[in-house]
Amino acid sequence: MTNQPTKSQLEMIAVDVGRNIDKMWSDWKWQQKNATKDVRLLESYFINIDSGFFQNLYKESGDRIKFQITPYVLYQIPKDISKEKILKNPWFRQFFPQGKLYTKGHDAYDGTDNWENPEEFPTKILHHKYDNRVLIRFRECLGYCSFCFEALGTLEKNPQERKKFSYGNWEKSLDYIRKHPKVEEVIFSGGEPLLNSDSKLENMLKDISEIKGKDEKPKIKFKRMHIRALTINPFRITDNLVNIIKKYRINEIALNVAHPSELTPEFEEAVGRIKEGAGRYAPLLVLHTPLLKGINDNTKTLWELFSKAYGMNIKPYYLLHSMPHTPFGDKQRVSVRDGIKLLKPLWRTKSHVALPEYIIVHYDGKKTVPLELNGTPEFQYTQNSEGNPIVKFRNWKNNWVEYPDVKDTIN
């Protein structure tokens, strides 16, 4: 077998770093430097799981999909866990290869872009879908989620050239923003914006902040970030980064979290650093949660997540239906209607502000899912010509579109 891990690498990962080396452990760069990038290495860490298990994960999909686990994430999974339990573990199910890629179903991972219409990319890194805002797309991550919505740009080991972030396109993107008067908001989105160094982030925020409108006032009124860092490497929230957030008045930070176990003491400390360090200029913190089979597809787990976040003064904002055309979609997608069945018991019985908006992220734009189980005149559950379940709805452009669904499993 090619690309076998070396003995020194195996010895390194077999060491239980724990939390006894506080200075190194809490250094986000140390965490990234010591991240495991080959799933086969972990056969020396999990003492009660046979080595063939991790070898098979690599053979089935790990040679195609990026894998990266920080020591912090690894520490969340007991090293003496059994094979039966690790298969149900929410950290394992989110960050490890899940076996064979799903490539044959009507919603399979077949090279289809989930998010991107080519005409919405005036530069390789700038995405302009909605009138008043643009996204700057970063393609690398602190760690890689197996359900990644941006799989073809971030999770693939060899993404297409047009999907790679390029600083050579930065000036082109700035020029585009200058020339389009409706653009008043810029969102740094993933991959992971916080994989960039503080100096690079500050330079980019400075460039954006210095763009002037016709009135010679700052053109960009709102700046946002979508991040996964607090789950993968919460130590990335340094005092210097918080000072940058404060200096450039970041209005909102969306935290991507799927399971309540991610809301660790380290997560909460990072949230506290943002709120306390930025003071009166602290950004609004919101939660973006993908709905995932075997991870959070039950009402109790969802409410535990939402209520814990709300208790930290984080607003649960979006529950995102798990998108089609992701690498392990057959193992991770629930039906749109099953998502309604999970949410309905919470409405009007729990604090409304602690509940998110349930949405479909269609390539033609987001759509709020109505909570009527039989749909509405503008949101219909049906089948395509092959008999596969789909949802048809009228989108924000007033156009009818289709969305691949899966069969209901909740009665």
Query: What is the average pLDDT score of the chain?
Result: 92
> What are the structural domain ranges in the chain?
7-95, 118-359
Question: End-to-end CA distance of the chain, in Å?
Answer: 46
Predicted confidence band of residue 118 (pLDDT cuts 50, 70, 90): confident
Of the pLDDT bands very low, low, confident and very high (cuts 50, 70, 90), residue 360 is very high
Q: Which of 187, 169, 168 is nearest to 128 (CA)?
A: 187
Per the model's pLDDT, the better-predicted residue between 296 and 152 turns out to be 296
Least confident span in 61-70, 71-80, 161-170, 298-307: 161-170
Rounded Cα gap, residues 323 and 345, in angstroms: 23
Q: Is residue 206 pLDDT above 80, yes or no?
A: yes
Number of H helices, E strands in the chain: 16, 12
Query: Does 1 have pLDDT greater than 60?
Result: no
Is this model's pTM higher than 0.85 or not?
yes
What DSSP letter does each residue of 276-337 carry, written as one string? HHHGGGPPEEEEEEEE-TTTT-SHHHHHHHHHHHHHTT-EEEEEEEPPSS-TTHHHH---HH
The per-residue pLDDT for 411 is 86
- Under CATH, which number does the domain 118-359 receive? 3.20.20.70
The sheet with strand 185-189 has its strands ordered as: 126-127, 133-137, 185-189, 222-227, 252-256, 284-291, 315-321, 357-362, 365-368
**Residue 21 pLDDT level (bands cut at 50, 70, 90):** low
In percent, the amount of the chain with pLDDT more than 70 equals: 95
| Least confident stretch, 5-19, 282-296, 379-393 | 5-19
Tell me the average pLDDT across 232-254.
98
Residues 131-189 pLDDT 10s: 999 999 998 999 999 999 888 888 988 877 777 777 789 999 999 999 999 999 999 99
Q: Is the pLDDT of residue 3 over 60?
A: no
**pLDDT for 167:** 76
**pLDDT at 66 (0 to 100):** 93
